[in-house]
Amino acid sequence: MDFNHALGRVFAAGDGGLSIYGESRMKILIAADMEGITGVTTWDQVTPGHAEYARFRRLMTQDVNAAIRGAFEAGAQEVLVTDGHWNGSNILVEELEPRARLNTGSPSPFSMVQGIDESVDGVMFIGYHARNGSPNAVLDHTWSSKTVANVWLNDILTGEYGLNAAVAGHFGVPVIMVSGDQTACAQVTELLGEMETASVKQATGRYAAECLTPQTAQEMIFTCAARAVGRLAEGDVPDPFVLDSPVRVTVEFCTSDMADRASRIPFTQRDGTRVSFSSQSMALVYNGFRAMVMLASG
Ligand SMILES: [Zn+2]
């Protein structure tokens, strides 16, 4: 029920307690990935079928729960979670904070940011990782570790965080917090601007990090999420990430046969292992990008 209509923005300052946000319910979308979850340092931990995976999907659920609780604590009225890792079936729905809802499974129209539209007020990136080729970054990759070497949006070298932020930006929605290792947090803030960051591990390589324990990491995520929602209510968050139109996505594939397959998509341009595609619409660019990667992986 929305009993706050017509009151405008009223922000009750104080120790995290608030609030009435605008004329509508404050709605948060949590876009969750797994490589940047507390304790994760190897592919086995994030790959279904491996013995370690069960532990880490529970930790993923707990990191996400900390963000949900933080968001509600600070006045969010609606939290939607999207499971963006692998096949989108990692978060344990039976252990998810009951006030949230979960987008799970794949493929969905907007993949890692399924659920995004103009009704969302802010996006949180939980469990995010750095782009492919980054030093001191746990499981750094860009969308597909076996297929994609690099991605540019216009002339900006980016990772999944940039693609997903640009789709949110297409709908006028800002990214307001990120959790992951220190390099993921740094890349997100470098691209989008200063925001709340929960650096749950200090990566020293692709498969090594000094990790906080879950209890400590999740307290940090809770606090950052609450602060991020408080800052959103005050307007103290980065602007939505909107690219100059037309938006051009360029994918550098790992091998030329991958580029052969991706370039079968109409209206793409090919240059060596790079295939690019432009559109006025970032939503269309996102789907074109995913189509290229799916075709190239086949
Ligand atoms: Zn992932």
Q: How far is the CA of 279 from the centre of ligand 1 (A)?
A: 26
Helix (H, G, I), strand (E, B) or coil at 84: coil
Q: How far is the CA of 85 from the centre of ligand 1 (A)?
A: 4
Structure tokens at 251: 């994918």
How many angstroms separate the CA atoms of 9 and 259, rounded? 50
Q: How far is the CA of 230 from the centre of ligand 1 (A)?
A: 28
Tokens 């000094």, residue located? 210
How many angstroms separate the CA atoms of 124 and 254, rounded? 30
Average pLDDT over the chain reads 93
How many angstroms separate the CA atoms of 281 and 244, rounded? 10
Summarize pLDDT for 207-241 with one digit per residue, the tens: 999 999 999 999 999 999 999 999 999 999 999 99
Summarize pLDDT for 87-123 with one digit per residue, the tens: 999 999 999 999 999 999 999 999 999 999 999 999 9
Q: How far is the CA of 33 from the centre of ligand 1 (A)?
A: 5
Tokens 């604590």, residue located? 73
Summarize pLDDT for 256-265 with one digit per residue, the tens: 999 999 999 9
Whether 17 shows a pLDDT value over 80: the answer reads no
Catalytic residue ranges: 141
